Structure 1
Amino acid sequence: MNQEQLAKVAKGQGFIAALDQSGGSTPKALKLYGVEESAYSGEAQMFDLVHAMRARIVGSPAFSGQRVLGAILFEMTMDREFDGLPAADYLWKKKGVVPFLKIDKGLAAAADGVQLMKPNPGLDALLKRASTKGIFGTKMRSVIDEANPKGIDAILDQQFEVGQQIFNAGLMPIIEPEVSIKSADKAKIEDLLVEGLLKRLDVLPAGVSVMLKLTLPEVVGKFDALVKHPKVTRVVALSGGYSRADSNAILARNKGVIASFSRALTEGLTAQMSDAEFNTALDAAIEGIYQASLS
């Protein structure tokens, strides 16, 4: 594990940009960017267009390691280039931004109030390839909809088991048990989630650490014990469907938690903007998220 990157992620001021929209979420991301589905035919064209969007974001003067600590990439993005350089190399060597990779294969069908990750039999090979390409860490997402202790335990058991596999491969795992912001039991879910996370963090082997990516909480300070836990490198928050203004406001009240926003980062950016308009809008978005992450 790159120690300079580890120090930046653990102690640096800033946030992590989530640029990892996958096949299921890409059409929506493109539509929000002003690109209708009628503008492309098939997955290949779709992924070319979303790569162009990502390249425009990371290539902007507003996007640099001064305010952006890391960026999470989709697997296909890792295998592509930004400005003639492999994506991870460009992020770190040109921008000073630590590269992460989304490694899950999507969500399984709902059961016990949650959606586990789908099986991922090729994970070891992917982790090895990611390591050779300069990736520092990984992200994997599950979803919790109900305050069901059995389901939440299953989510956390799976996340920590795979997290150990990732750490053993020399990469930093971001454990992401997302809580749906639409859940009527969101506060109760977060009680169970924090309890379950602390229980598993307490028994991690010596030398092992993880990052946590969690939905912005209902109760201010809910994640304080996680932020302070010696096995947690960093706690980052996802926007989960909240607007950028609401996300920043909630984040700013939760000390020690930094952003890892996707939709809230790209909100308001469109393909139709001139480069000057785009860079101005992105700079304002980054500055707002950066300031909210400083608390």
Structure 2
Amino acid sequence: MERAGICPSSGEQRPNQKAIGEQLNQPDIVMLNEVTTVQRELWLDLLREEQGYTEIVDTLDWGQELRESNIPPHHEFIHTSGQITAVHKDADARELERRHPSIRSGPWENSEMKDWSTNFPEKILNSEVKISGQSVDLWNVRTVPGSMYGEEKIKILENVYSRITKSDPERCILAGDLNIPKVERADGTVVSWGEDKPESIRERWISAEMDVMTGLSNVGLVDAFRHVHGYGDIDTEATSHESRRIDHIFTSESLNPERCWYDHDGYECSDHAPMVMEFSV
């Protein structure tokens, strides 16, 4: 049984090993969102030396480079953070490798849309790992707030959805603070933030959110929390931030998600509750 854990918005606080270690009980794979670029070495040392995560990939280098850029539009964006994915030394997981997206090769190479249009590339960390000898695609993603960056939020969602569905991975985990949906009803109905957007962008906004929330089932991915717990009214224990469930793990059903929960003790070190999934390959 493997355990994957995500800790959204951890970069807003000083690195706290309790959040990774004691509270998440040393996940085999940990995905951190919003780690500040200036704390990169601090986090890498903490993960390696204190927590035993010997294989680590991140996008903090991209964030650092873009933060220092004077090229529009990046001179007006706040590129202060990125993502970290790490594998524990005791996990049955090996050969963690960061993927660098290319418009020249891949399942989208002959497509008119190359699926790499976001101005926040550091918010999308795609990697591959071998678990029990089987290759698993990992997507560690954080969308920027639509209230601040508008279309940039849906660009991230569109990029992730298109790249996952076009590659059609056999085994895949998508996790992170996705800032969606606006409302999730007891019967499973999802209400997008796009419902309140201007008509000129409303349909695209709704599609971008719904594609991720419900459309990934087309390539065999399930909402891990809902797959385990079913539907119904969301109580406090089933939320991740301000009484909403906006942090998610989507996983290939073939990975057999057996447990999935939000660890509210994690509020001691982040403004979002960390999320944990147990699965088997």
Give the alignment's TM-score, normalised by structure 1.
Answer: 0.41
Give the alignment's TM-score, normalised by structure 2.
Answer: 0.43
Of Structure 1 and Structure 2, which has the larger fraction of its residues in strand? 2
